[in-house]
Amino acid sequence: MKIVRITAVARKEFLHVFRDYRSLMMAIAIPIMMLVLFGYALTLDVDNVPLAVWDQSGTAQSRDFIARFDGSRFFSVRGTVVNQREMDYTIDSGRALGVLVVPRDFAQKLAAGRAAEAQLIIDGSDSNTATIALNYAEAVVQGYSQNLVFQAIRRNGLPEPRQPLNVKPRVWFNEELESKNFIVPGLIAVLMMVIAALLTSLTIAREWEQGTMEQLIATPVKGPELILGKLIPYFAIGLFDVLLAVLMAEFVFHVPLRGSVLFLFSIAVIFLIGALSMGLVISINLKNQLLAAQFAMVATFLPSFLLSGFMFSIANMPHAIQVITYIVPARYFVTTLKGIYMKGVGPSVLFAEVVFLMIYSAIMFTIANVRFKKKLS
């Protein structure tokens, strides 16, 4: 193993990347774009659900009730409807996600001390959002009726009842329950997996396609020298991408980073070696740039998105699928990054993940070296 050869290969590879604006784009612009795109698109918080109201009661009470919805951060009242046709239209056209209907006898029933009813019609085509909106509505209504009860008691001069049980849930690690706080760290992990494999998937195939490999394998360069030399520039680019992602998480998404930055980058180093080597393995085996890039996309994108615990909790998956997730490297990177970001934990807690990532990287790097042959086939 000669350092001179490794640096010669690394320098040449750097020149290729910097001369070719497409590879630069792929290396820098695409990760930023994907992070912004997915960062916003995948944020699951449902805020300010647009509502229309059909106030058949038209009383002070009904207006107060509606104001409760409008005043909460969950809903915002966008308009009113006055008949069935308008109501249907509002929902069909997507102007509002739901219509709050306050019946004619709302105020009378309240005054009579009877249970008043109101109706919330929600567009269920996005069941996720619909469920969340319904839960919000329940909370708003509960708050409203509790208030009414207290008012009535006070009016009647009775002593205020003490609540028998006061449950105050406290959420750890993500107190505001903001989805971006766990989406963004997972997203960084998933994107790095895809980008890293994609970056190196082209490099060896390109040399076979262009015929430059035939010249290279007729020299005394050794396989590991070539592979290390080719890894170095993409490793630098990969680390730069991680840095960009961490900076964006901080300044664009305002995701608090609780753990150690040093630990985060150490893990990124281990992970990158594995993911970049995997790209090389693909490139070495397929010897065709288009095929290699497509294969790298499919092999990293789907498992990383679906099976890493990034989008769907692994604990809720069928058992067979859970077993498969153990061989998805992104799983360990996702867990580690989420742990570092949200819980601020370090190597002692994430020990298993770190070990798995090391094994993965060692295996990929070894396969790349073993599979690369200085022979024409």
Contact positions vs another protein (CB under 8 A): 2, 4-5, 7-9, 11-12, 15-16, 19-20, 210-222, 374-376
Minimum distance from residue 24 beta carbon to another protein (Å)? 13
DSSP state of 72: S
Query: Which residues on neighbouring strands pair with residue 52, listed in sequence order?
Result: 79, 99
Minimum distance from residue 213 beta carbon to another protein (Å)? 8
Minimum distance from residue 206 beta carbon to another protein (Å)? 10
For another protein, the closer of residues 208 and 333 by Cβ is 208
Minimum distance from residue 214 beta carbon to another protein (Å)? 5
Instruction: Report whether 237 contacts 208 (CB < 8 A).
Output: no
Phi (first) and psi of residue 19, to 5 degrees = -85, -20
* Residue 335 CA: distances (Å) to CA of 183, 194, 218, 246, 253: 12, 17, 44, 16, 19
Q: How far apart are CA 336 and CA 308, in angstroms?
A: 11
Tokens of 317: 């998956």
Tokens of 245: 């992602």
Minimum distance from residue 281 beta carbon to another protein (Å)? 21
Q: How far apart are CA 242 and CA 230, in angstroms?
A: 19
For another protein, the closer of residues 19 and 162 by Cβ is 19
Query: Which residues on neighbouring strands pair with residue 55, listed in sequence order?
Result: 102
Phi (first) and psi of residue 174, to 5 degrees = -150, 70
Minimum distance from residue 8 beta carbon to another protein (Å)? 2
Minimum distance from residue 371 beta carbon to another protein (Å)? 16
For another protein, the closer of residues 7 and 294 by Cβ is 7
| Three-state secondary structure of 273-340 | HHHHHHHHHHHHHHCCHHHHHHHHHHHHHHHHHHHCCCCCCHHHCCHHHHHHHCCCHHHHHHHHHHHH
For another protein, the closer of residues 23 and 336 by Cβ is 23
Minimum distance from residue 320 beta carbon to another protein (Å)? 41
For another protein, the closer of residues 18 and 150 by Cβ is 18
For another protein, the closer of residues 11 and 104 by Cβ is 11
* Residue 332 CA: distances (Å) to CA of 30, 92, 95, 188, 341: 23, 43, 42, 13, 14
For another protein, the closer of residues 229 and 329 by Cβ is 229
For another protein, the closer of residues 7 and 43 by Cβ is 7
